[in-house]
Amino acid sequence: MRTPAPLGSLGFEKLVNAVVDYAIYMLDPDGHVVTWNSGAKRIKNYDAAEIIGQHYSRFYIPEDIARGLPVAALEAAREIGRYEAEGWRVRKDGTRFWASVVIDAVRDDQGQVVGFAKVTRDITERRDAQLQMEQSREQLFQAQKMEALGQLTGGVAHDFNNLLTAILGAAELARRAAGDNPRLMTLLNGIAASARRGSVVTQQLLDFARQQPLEPEEIDLTQRMGPIAALLRHSLRGDIALVTEVQTNLWPVEVDPGQLELALLNVALNARDAMPQGGNLRIAANNVSLNREVEGLAGEFVALSITDTGPGIPQEILPRVFDAFFTTKDQGRGTGLGLCQVHRFAKHSSGAVTARSPPGEGATITLYLPARRPQLGIEQKAAEDESRLRILVVEDDMLVAEYAAELLQEMGYATRVVHNAGEALAALEREPRFDLVFSDIVMPGGLNGFELARKIGDLHPELPILLTSGYNDNTTARASALHIVPKPYRFDDLQAALSQLLEFRRA
Ligand SMILES: Nc1ncnc2c1ncn2[C@@H]1O[C@H](COP(=O)(O)OP(=O)(O)OP(=O)(O)O)[C@@H](O)[C@H]1O
Ligand SMILES: [Mg+2]
């Protein structure tokens, strides 16, 4: 049997040099680099020729150099024989890596320190993996906590609901027995009102704990709006005026009606709280086609928005109003679950909710609920067309014309598109039944929008005209008492302008 040849010093150097995963090098007693292996080159990027003779502190980050760490490390190794640590180090190109470092003091036969052996490993990846694991453990812990909180909340809310049912029932019976004792009646009414408020809160808690499954059904908001408004009016004070503006022919939406009522109630109660001196609450409902403008939603939706005339929501808290338990109200006055319910309802219904509060304009909460656009049969469509108000669109730009026609159809109008004033006058001549002319102002060649409007005013004085322009030319408009929507127009603005002009035609 052959015994392996003993490793001479040359063989040892070869071995050290062959190691690429560890930086292995020697320092002199003051910390200058004396030898350099291929691992050191790979990890720290320096060639042996450029680093030998340099002080090893250049591998440290400036903060550690300022703390005197390189010197302290050598001191420690000299005192105890070995120094071990993990920390940030710097490569030649300035990038940092997380290093595991061992420094051993090397002594001669008399025990004198003649230098240091230094071994460094790049463990950045390992550290990243570890941090990631800690992070996911933290997330899991959070999720478990929320789950436990949810279960607890659900349990408490459930028991509480039973108690409230008993209180409400007893108050009801007592009211019947109270006869005509007005003082007692007032007290009992107070008890019943508080219990009802309590059950709204428990509803929210149950929803938060996800113990209330949604039961979606197809509903026609045009029909539902009356009862919903009545419910809201009931919950508001007398000094708050409720106005509803619901577009006719709203598309049917698929939602849980109970949750929808609760959501609207939550929004309305917030508005009430925001208007202690009274004010207006406006509920508007419109069909909208979205193409990812709102929270990435695409398709057909009904936008249901509630606007108040309170002080609005401060910009800095706007991003947090939908968070669970976020409230700015005094203890006992708000749980911070109202808008959280609205948000969850919207999400679970595959829709979205937004909060806007332009300075000085109160707050607007808008629910986007997924809708089904009814497919009309050909005959039905013709009949629909017949009954719809007809708008003559005058626009020289083909693309804009197409867009305008689409918007108007979306709003329920029938349209006829022409591309200049001449064509417009001809159409008015030949096709008598138009309810409104919607014209661009700037049109090359022939009459412009103002001139067309004047001409139409002479020929068909009863026909309303709405002009549009990309130029902000309000003075002319005011002088001529014409109605103008600026370009680019938004669905809402155009719709508002049209319904104002067409009001008397519908009647
Ligand atoms: N219309 C509004 N005007 C001004 N601030 C509002 C309005 N709506 C909501 N906020 C702000 O958003 C916060 C969160 O509303 P949210 O309905 O979630 O909870 P809350 O009303 O405080 O309590 P809860 O509804 O559970 O009784 C409110 O505390 C308030 O600061
Ligand atoms: Mg609220």
pTM of the predicted structure, to 2 decimals: 0.46
What's 375's DSSP letter?
A: P
> How far is residue 108 from each of residues 10, 114, 115, 137, 147, measured CA to CA in Å?
20, 6, 9, 50, 64
Choose one of 339, 341, 366 to mutate for the ligand 1 pocket test, by most ligand atoms within 8 angstroms of C-beta: 339
pLDDT of residue 382: 59
Nearest to 127 by CA among 88, 91, 70: 88
Mean pLDDT across 50-72: 95
Burial class (CB in 10 A: 0-12, 13-18, 19+), 410: middle
Choose one of 270, 343, 366 to mutate for the ligand 1 pocket test, by most ligand atoms within 8 angstroms of C-beta: 270
Mean pLDDT across 177-190: 88
Q: Which is higher by pLDDT, 184 or 507? A: 184
Residues with CB under 6 Å of ligand 1 are: 266, 270-271, 274, 308, 310, 313, 321, 326-329, 334-340, 363
pLDDT of residue 1: 46
Mean pLDDT across 305-333: 90
Mean pLDDT across 287-295: 87
Q: Is the pLDDT of residue 5 over 90?
A: no
Atom 31 of ligand 1 has which residue's CA nearest to it? 328
Residue-wise pLDDT for 392-426, tens only, equals 999 888 778 877 888 888 888 888 888 899 989 98
Residue-wise pLDDT for 19-30, tens only, equals 888 999 999 999
Residue-wise pLDDT for 477-504, tens only, equals 555 678 888 877 888 888 888 988 887 6
Sheet holding 390-394, edge to edge: 414-418, 390-394, 436-440, 465-469, 483-486
Nearest-Å Rg of the Cα atoms of the chain is 38
Kindly report the average pLDDT of the chain as a whole number.
Answer: 86
How far does residue 322's CA lie from ligand 2's centre (Å)? 10
Mean pLDDT across 202-219: 75
Handedness of CA 392, 396, 398, 401 (dihedral sign): negative
Q: Is the pLDDT of residue 168 over 90?
A: no
Amino acid at 288: V
